[in-house]
Amino acid sequence: MGRLNVSLCGISLDNPVIPASGTFGFGYEFAELYDINCLGTFSFKGTTKDARFGNLTPRIAECTAGMINAVGLQNPGVDAVISNELPKLQKCFNKPVMANVSGFSVEDYAYTCEKLDKCEQVGWLEVNVSCPNVHGGGMSFGTQPEVAAEVVRKVKAVTTKPVIVKLSPNVTDIVAIAKACEDAGADGISLINTLLGMRINLKTRKPVIKNKMGGFSGSAIFPVALRMVYQVSQAVSIPVVGMGGVSSAEDVIEMMLAGATAVEIGAANLVDPFACRDIINDLEKTMDKYNIKNLSDIIGGAH
């Protein structure tokens, strides 16, 4: 075990840095820029049962210290992901990958997860019950404990791999939802997804995004994400994957002190495609600065 090693749901990672779903494609696009095997793993583009074109444009808006997106889960559908995307990834990434799954019904989630569970490359299933950018799905499953728990039970019934549930911050009590997922059999909790936000064009006096609202991400949301990781990691006994505004090695360490076993990095990849590589390269130097011997020793250290 090296200084950066952590174990996520029983699977060893060389380091805790994970590019977040929707910011890293299916991985092979970034492999043209650097060797992505330096990553702990990554969460690939959100996948649904059927192909989705996504929302109408414009679907991106810039903000101070962040951005709003309403892409709407554009993806080729699970069958195309398995037949086309994963074989391309296999040529450039030799570690287990995290499969991010969304749905519009409990049955959708179970169907897609069951298919991806059979893929040897897939190490974890990250079940997204928290996307704020789609109508009739996504976040609607993650705002009530009993509904989120139902998704977990149905997915666990048809899968054998670790199931990590990605939760929404757009709720009153994140802890209650996380505990309901744990009680239903979840192997881990992933949080936070984007906050719900919007921008208005002063000239047209209309919302900038066609969808009106979208997911707000970037460094501005880091304190909110950190607080929720801290709360949830104290309340559950399963691993927490922290994310939300992470953009430096210091942020990674802060997330781990709050209770994260691993840390996903999202919007920073869209600003700088080398962000995750550079953060990994900075980790040991930053650990030395703060007298940290091994990252696995500091998980939850702020509690």
CA-to-CA distance for 198 and 61, rounded, in angstroms? Answer: 8
pLDDT attached to residue 143: 79
3-state helix, strand, coil in the chain (%, to 5): 35, 20, 45
**CATH code for the part of the protein at 6-297:** 3.20.20.70
pLDDT attached to residue 131: 61
Region 260-275: what's the mean pLDDT? 97
The percent of residues above 70 in pLDDT, for the chain, comes to: 96
pLDDT attached to residue 156: 98
Helix (H) or strand (E) holding 182: helix 174-183
What is the bridge-based pairing of β-strands 60-63 and 214-217?
Answer: unpaired
Strand 240-242: give its sheet, edge to edge: 17-19, 262-265, 240-242, 188-191, 163-166, 122-128, 97-101
Residue 75 pairs in a beta bridge with: 52
Among 3-7, 54-58, 229-233, the range scoring the smallest mean pLDDT is: 54-58
Domain edges within the chain: 6-297
Q: Would you say 101 and 128 are in contact if contact means Cβ atoms under 8 Å apart? A: yes
**Radius of gyration (C-alpha) of the chain in whole angstroms:** 18
Give residue-wise pLDDT tens across range 182-213.
Answer: 999 999 999 999 999 999 999 999 999 999 99
Region 258-278: what's the mean pLDDT? 97
Q: Would you say 182 and 236 are in contact if contact means Cβ atoms under 8 Å apart? A: yes
Residue 158 CA, chain-centre distance (Å), reads 22
pLDDT attached to residue 135: 46
Nearest CA-CA partner of 73 in 120, 153, 129, 123: 129
Residue 63 pairs in a beta bridge with: 66
CA-to-CA distance for 240 and 8, rounded, in angstroms? Answer: 9
Mean pLDDT of the chain: 95
Burial level of 133, CB count in 10 A (0-12/13-18/19+)? buried
pLDDT attached to residue 142: 74
Residues belonging to the active site: 131
Position 71 pLDDT exceeds 80: yes
Region 269-276: what's the mean pLDDT? 97
pLDDT attached to residue 100: 98
Among 47-56, 63-72, 140-149, 157-166, the range scoring the smallest mean pLDDT is: 140-149
Give residue-wise pLDDT tens across range 117-167.
Answer: 999 999 999 999 976 544 455 456 777 899 999 999 999 999 999 999 999
Helix (H, G, I), strand (E, B) or coil at 156: helix
Nearest CA-CA partner of 282 in 261, 241, 251, 242: 251
Q: Would you say 142 and 177 are in contact if contact means Cβ atoms under 8 Å apart? A: yes
**Which residue blocks in 193-260 are alpha helix, DSSP H?**
222-235, 249-258
